[in-house]
Structure formats: structure tokens, C-alpha cells
């Protein structure tokens, strides 16, 4: 597979870098690695990655550790800690952060907050166990980031895959 698309993909995949190099936190490496793997394997996630420009903080409350994901139109720089100038900051415990990665993506690429996983996430927001700062005016960014985090495929993609299966 050496078509033009694959070449472009290879360049994009290598575009995740760690501002702190070898000192990048395990959490930062995990998030960066997750996004990298998602972008590598799913075309629709790559499209999100290429057009996303935002600084997103993720703070895990029960380990008191955060990272800042600086998305720059197809390039991601992962910083240890919460850096200034963030558009969005997500604060939750470790389990909830992992759960965010399991949010299903519905039709038209919208995160599905109506199924059991989505409802649990919404319930945690209502109980204050999941806090999202900067949501006002950044809903589109949140949806893009959720799609990049999510290890679930979009319903559109799944349907297309099902149809093409023998």
C-alpha cells in the first residue's frame, strides 16, 4: 500500500510529538498514543485531526495529573501539565477519562449521549464528577476531540463496513 493517501497518513501519524520528550508523563503518552492509533486507523478521525486547532487540557483528579493537547491542524503537541491558553479543560477521575474514550459516535459524527455509555457520561457531568471548562462557544471542538478520543467507530462507518462485508 503505497498510494498517495497512505503516504499522507504516514506523515500525519508521525505528527504527534511530546513537548517534554523522554520526560513525557505516562498519561500524556497514553493519550497521545491513543489519538495517534485512532488517527492511523480511522479515516474520519484523521479528517478531524487535520482540521482541529485547539488547546485542550485533560486533568485526572484522582492522580492529580494533567496534560495539554495542542492540536495544530494535523499536528499534535502533548505537554505535561495544564498549560495556559486552553480552549477546553476536561476534569474527571481516571475511570471517567477512560470512559470518555468509549463514547459511541452516532450518525453525522455526533457523540451519542443517549446510549448507556453516553448516559453514564452525562450523569457524571450532572453530578459534577466530570467537569468541562470552556464549553460555551467550543461545542464543536468538544465533539471533534471526543471523536478523536473515542475508540468506537462512527455509526456511518460501521454501517458502511457492514454493508461491504461478505
Residues that bind other proteins (CB under 8 A): 25-27, 29-30, 33-34, 37-38, 41, 60, 62-63, 65, 94-95, 97-99, 101-102, 151-152
CB nearer to other proteins: give 91 or 138: 91
Three-class secondary structure of residue 154 per DSSP: strand
CB nearer to other proteins: give 40 or 133: 40
Using CA atoms, how far apart are residues 48 and 11, in angstroms rounded to an integer?
15
Tell me the closest approach of the beta carbon of residue 38 to other proteins, in angstroms. 6
Tell me the closest approach of the beta carbon of residue 62 to other proteins, in angstroms. 6
CB nearer to other proteins: give 112 or 152: 152
CB nearer to other proteins: give 99 or 157: 99
71 strand-pairing partners:
54, 76
Amino acid at each position: 500500500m503505497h498510494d498517495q493517501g497512505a503516504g499522507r497518513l504516514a506523515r500525519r501519524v508521525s505528527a504527534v510529538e511530546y513537548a517534554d520528550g523522554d520526560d513525557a508523563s505516562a498519561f500524556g503518552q497514553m493519550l497521545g498514543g491513543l489519538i495517534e492509533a485512532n488517527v492511523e486507523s480511522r479515516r474520519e478521525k484523521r479528517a478531524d485531526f487535520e482540521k482541529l486547532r485547539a488547546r485542550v487540557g485533560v486533568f485526572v483528579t484522582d492522580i492529580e495529573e494533567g496534560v495539554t493537547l495542542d492540536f495544530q491542524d494535523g499536528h499534535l503537541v502533548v505537554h505535561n501539565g495544564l498549560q495556559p491558553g486552553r480552549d477546553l479543560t476536561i476534569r474527571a477521575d481516571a475511570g471517567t477519562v477512560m470512559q470518555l474514550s468509549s463514547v459511541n459516535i452516532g450518525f453525522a459524527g455526533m457523540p451519542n449521549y443517549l446510549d448507556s455509555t453516553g448516559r453514564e457520561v452525562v450523569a457524571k457531568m450532572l453530578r459534577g464528577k466530570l467537569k468541562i471548562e470552556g464549553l460555551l462557544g467550543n461545542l464543536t471542538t468538544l465533539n471533534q476531540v471526543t471523536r478523536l478520543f473515542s475508540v468506537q467507530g462512527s455509526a456511518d462507518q460501521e454501517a458502511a463496513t457492514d454493508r461491504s462485508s461478505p
